[in-house]
Amino acid sequence: MEAIERTAAVRMGVRLEVITVVWMAFEAVLAIGAGIAARSVLLTAFGFDSVIELLSGVTLLWWLAAEARGAPTKRLDRMERRATQVSAVLLVLLCTYLVFVGVGGLVLRLHPEGSVLGVAVSATAVLVMPILAWRKHVANVAIKSAALRADIAETVTCAYMAAATLAGTALNLIAGWWWAEYAAALALLVFIVIETREALEAARG
């Protein structure tokens, strides 16, 4: 019975990671494009997080598809460790980006322009990401994968980033508060550092 439940959960995980990969590719292109056009650190950081989630999704899809095909346990264990390590490294890179670029933008007083596209993309992500994270969590109850747990952490982080991005870009667009985008970007570090620490612990474990 447990084996049957795990098989069904793995198949669900594969479907969820396919959705993740497709959505994140779409989100990354729009967010980074909008960020470059508006000279927005917040939007480009959001786009960078989407790229991280995309790579994590591809890695997890590779691992889950191998398990669905019945790959040997030892090979699956190696793949899972590698997937977990990739997720952790990518989160560390995101933290580094936010610190250097966010602080640099504030110090240099680089004023990002308002972006309607950025508001629309982040608002959509606020709705999509929590649902996706919850469905992955449901699947992982049976799978019990450290790599998928790290991927869920990144999906949750993406939801936080979407909310902060929406707040910062909306305030800049509506009220002209350019500094709100930098404040939102730096506030993300609180959430991302927590998720990064958990991912690193999972990678070491």
Rg of the chain taking only CA atoms, in angstroms: 18
Two structure tokens written together for 8: 């069904």
Q: Report the range out of 4-8, 62-66, 95-99, 113-117 with the highest average pLDDT.
A: 113-117
CA distance 99 to 85: 22
If pLDDT is split at 50, 70 and 90, which confidence band does 3 have?
low
Q: Kindly indicate the confidence band of residue 119, based on its pLDDT and cuts at 50, 70 and 90.
A: very high
The mean pLDDT value of the chain amounts to 82
Whether the Cβ atoms of residue 165 and residue 184 lie closer than 8 Å to each other:
yes
Give the number of other CB atoms < 10 A from CB of residue 80.
23
Do 14 and 61 contact (CB within 8 A), yes or no? yes
pLDDT-based confidence at residue 152 (cuts at 50, 70, 90): confident
Q: Is the pLDDT of residue 28 over 90?
A: yes
pLDDT of residue 88: 77
Ordered by where they begin, the domains of the chain are 2-204 (1.20.1510.10)
Q: SS3 for the chain, per residue?
A: CHHHHHHHHHHHHHHHHHHHHHHHHHHHHHHHHHHHHHCCHHHHHHHHHHHHHHHHHHHHHHHHHHHHCCCCHHHHHHHHHHHHHHHHHHHHHHHHHHHHHHHHHHHHCCCCCCCHHHHHHHHHHHHHHHHHHHHHHHHHHHHCCHHHHHHHHHHHHHHHHHHHHHHHHHHHHHHCCCHHHHHHHHHHHHHHHHHHHHHHHHHHC
pLDDT in tens, 33-47: 999 998 887 888 888
Contacts of 100 (CB under 8 A, 6+ apart): none
